[in-house]
Amino acid sequence: MNFRVVFKLIGRILLLLAGSMVLPLVVALLYQESPFPFLSSILLLGLIGGNMVREALGPEEEVETACAADFVRGDRAGLDRMILQGGKNLSGGQRQRLTIARALVRRPKILILDDSASALDYATDAKLRSALRNLEGGATTFIVSQRASSIRHADKIIVLDDGEMAGIGTHDELLENCEVYKEIYYSQYPEERLKAAKASGADRAAGTEKKGGVSNGGR
């Protein structure tokens, strides 16, 4: 998904949530305030620190927040480690974490993550999302993802199906009333589908037993 597509997507979301009167102002703010880590992480030939430096300060805090500290500090050169054009000497997950760290250097008010953690394992993805939620000062974060785990704790989830909005709400609300979200979630967590089916069966059984008891008592 490219820059224009994501901004168009967010524009449609804002139109639904905020209305057409404020949309131009919000879109202008997005362009001004939003670092944008892409799925295809773009890194330049040079030092790790040189890709992210913020004036005279080092980006150590951002590296920590983006869960990149392990491999940055694990190398003797640290932030002075040389990376090739496009980060070709790094793994996909390492490139994504450095791209997120670079976005955080600007201390953004709005952060847009376009499938930016797709190469991370689930444990690192969860750790990253927790660190982003606890950022000092906070940031409004838009997450575009096909992973249910990446968005399930969001304040508001918008489900798209063939470019159309199929549902909006919290994770629990969507499991109750959005078939598209339910299918996505259960396809990624089949064990949760079994738990839900067992719970539903138990509830139906309890309801039947209760009705039977009332009926017998009335005879």
Domains of the chain: 34-154 (3.40.50.300)
Q: How far is CA 75 from CA 68, 86, 95, 119, 150, in A?
A: 12, 19, 15, 21, 29
Class of residue 206 by CB neighbours under 10 A (exposed 0-12, middle 13-18, buried 19+): exposed
56 pLDDT band, cuts 50/70/90, is: very low
**Side-chain half-sphere CA neighbours of 39 within 13 A:** 11
What is the model's pTM? 0.66
pLDDT of residue 94: 87
Distances (CA, A) of 8 to 15, 42, 65, 114, 206: 10, 21, 28, 13, 48
CA dist 30 and 14 (Å) reads 11
Query: Quick check: helix, strand or coil at residue 126?
Result: helix
Give mean pLDDT, residues 20-36. Answer: 51
Closest CA relative to residue 137, chosen from 167, 182, 104, 172? 104
pLDDT at residue 57, rounded to an integer: 47
The reported pLDDT for the residue numbered 170 is 95
User: In whole numbers, what is the pLDDT of the chain averaged over residues?
Assistant: 75
With bands split at pLDDT 50, 70 and 90, how would you rate the model's confidence at 40? low
pLDDT at residue 154 greater than cutoff 60: yes
Q: Give the CA angle between residues 182, 185, 186 to the nearest 5°.
A: 80
Segment 204-209 mean pLDDT: 59
pLDDT at site 7 = 57
Residue 108: which of 126, 85, 132 has the closest Cα? 132
Express as a percent the part of the chain with pLDDT over 90: 14
Instruction: Tell me the CA distances in angstroms from 12 to 9, 17, 96, 201, 216, one per residue in order.
Output: 5, 9, 26, 39, 56
Q: Compute CA distances 193 → 17, 145, 164, 166, 210, whole Å.
A: 31, 21, 25, 20, 26
Helices (H) and strands (E) counted in the chain, each on its own, are 11, 6
* Predicted pLDDT at 212: 55
